[in-house]
Amino acid sequence: MNTLKQTPSDSPKSSGVNEILQDKNTDFIKAMQSDILSISKQTEVKDNPFPMTGMPQILADLINDSVDVYGSPLEYFACTLLVACASVVRKHAVLDDGKYKNYPQLWIMYIGSSGIGKDAPLKIAFKPIIEYDLEAYGRYEFELAEWRNVDATCKKAKESSPPKPFPKMILIDDATPESFYPCLQQNGGLTLHRDELSGWFADFGRYAKSGEVARYLSLFTNGTFSINRVGKDHIKISDPYYSIIGGIQPLVLGSTLNENQMRENGLAQRFLYAFPDNAKQPMYNDAMPNPVYPLRYKKLIEYLHDNDFGTLTLSAEAKSCYIDFVNEMAHERNKTDIEYRQALYSRFRMHVLRIALTLELISSYPIGLNDSKTISVETMQYAIDICRYFIVCGLKVEKLGGSNNENKTQDMKEFARLLLEKGITQLEAARITGLSQATISRNK
């Protein structure tokens, strides 16, 4: 908002407004104009590089080498690798901050137009994990064939059959709710990874009316739930783990946010967004990947997959750092009336703990966790730095899909509400802000 909407200067109505501006809170209104301009500019942020100071060296080497070879934005590699590492840990590590418990569970969407290199990061990060799943599926096929023979024998002898084997997996990329929930229950945790999340959202929207949106909101907080459907066995899923990683184009995300009401229901704010500035299609180069770095990374994945890390806590210094950050987020949340931003800031209390846990586990390779099994202050500070990157990207996402105009309207609603608190009537506030009286009445 750059100027206030005014009626012609010779109008009796304008005279009344001018008296209000001059006699009733002129300084206040000017201050509100300044605040609203400041709020609107919060999403106009440039030069937001993904922080690398603090990244465990074993990942930093692979990230930097991959950027040189493939040309994809650095944050794509960083984010996919963090989610991949978390995906093999699942619930074998939990961070207890004294109030809440969090697994290394991450929901990350990397955003970019076609051709800027969204495929390579996913393939590099999940290659060793896909190999795990392929081996597990081979064992499942063998066990299933054996079970069918035993089952046939038991039926002839009119005896009970042993339990049917189920496919063990870490990753999932496409599933209807009917198949997804049993897989989640049987495996204790899954990670969705897809080149393009638009397909997932398309399927997701198909089931929105049957409570699918609420189910995913619950999955984010590891909420226990039951599934009861006609003709299906009762399923109870306790404390589920579910991570998400995938790419999406800005325009597609904008329309998806609108179609699925993701801003309103809070799903959008549960994601962390890797949204690079001015990303361009990389030029071809002859650089070849250093084979040492993928081999080291594979060893890291084996370490994370094979260990049960148990419960970690925050060191005293890390706890102090965490409290300062959470209070900062609470301050940002409390000073805005824009619901998207309120939910955005509120979620970082959980995001930062999950990122810190993931980083600490990676940093413990290959010697293992420290004896106290605590998150160091250095790890916590780096997790906060990463969160600051994601906050800026989250504010950029707020503008997608025509939400910029929506933001301006929200800012004017906030302005109108404050005018009413100062004793200015709805009619007068409508003239000053350009909003209708009905809108102001609903917003008060």
Is 406 inside a domain boundary? no
Q: Flag the least confident range among 35-44, 177-186, 364-373.
A: 35-44
Domain carrying residue 273: 57-398
Is 379 inside a domain boundary? yes
* pLDDT of the residue at 2: 42
Is 392 inside a domain boundary? yes
In three-state form (DSSP H/G/I as H, E/B as E, the rest C), the secondary structure along the chain is CCCCCCCCCCCHHHHHHHHHHHHCCHHHHHHHHHHHHHHHHCCCCCCCCCCCCCCCHHHHHHHHHHHHHHCCCHHHHHHHHHHHHHHHHCCCEEEECCCCEECCCCEEEEECCCCCCCHHHHHHHHHHHHHHHHHHHHHHHHHHHHHHHHHHHHHHCCCCCCCCCCCCCCEECCCCHHHHHHHHHHHCEEEEEEEEHHHHHHHHHHCHHHCHHHHHHHHHCCCCEEECCCCCCCEEECCCEEEEEEEECHHHHHHHHHHCCHHHHCCHHHCEEECCCCCCCCCCCCCCCCCHHHHHHHHHHHHHHHCCCEEEEECHHHHHHHHHHHHHHHHHHHCCCCHHHHHHHHHHHHHHHHHHHHHHHHHCCCCCCCCCCEECHHHHHHHHHHHHHHHHHHHHHHCHHHHHHHHHHHHHHHHHHHHHHCCCCHHHHHHHHCCCHHHHHHHC
In tens, the pLDDT along 16-52 reads 444 544 444 565 555 555 554 444 444 444 579 999 9
Is 11 inside a domain boundary? no
In tens, the pLDDT along 299-322 reads 999 999 999 999 999 999 999 999
Residue 80 · residue 122 · CB < 8 Å:
yes
Residue 90 · residue 189 · CB < 8 Å:
yes
* pLDDT of the residue at 415: 75
Is 126 inside a domain boundary? yes
Q: Please give the share of the chain, as a percent, with pLDDT higher than 70.
A: 80
Is 250 inside a domain boundary? yes
Residue 88 · residue 301 · CB < 8 Å:
yes
In tens, the pLDDT along 253-273 reads 888 887 767 888 889 999 999
* pLDDT of the residue at 348: 98
Paired strand residues for 245: 108, 193
Q: Which residue has the higher pLDDT, 280 or 18?
A: 280
What mean pLDDT comes out for the span 75-95? 98
Tally of domains within the chain: 1
Q: Flag the least confident range among 2-11, 84-93, 149-158, 162-171.
A: 2-11
Is 146 inside a domain boundary? yes
Is 370 inside a domain boundary? yes
In this prediction, residue 9 has a pLDDT band, given cuts at 50, 70 and 90, of: very low
The CATH number of whichever domain residue 144 belongs to comes to 3.40.50
Q: Please give the share of the chain, as a percent, with pLDDT higher than 90.
A: 58
Average pLDDT, the chain: 85
Range of 64-68, 236-240, 273-277, 423-427 with top mean pLDDT: 64-68
Distance CA 186, CA 233 (A): 13
Residue 390 · residue 405 · CB < 8 Å:
no
Residue 136 has pLDDT above 70, yes or no: yes
Q: Flag the least confident range among 109-118, 124-133, 163-172, 388-397.
A: 109-118
**Is pTM beyond 0.85 here?**
no
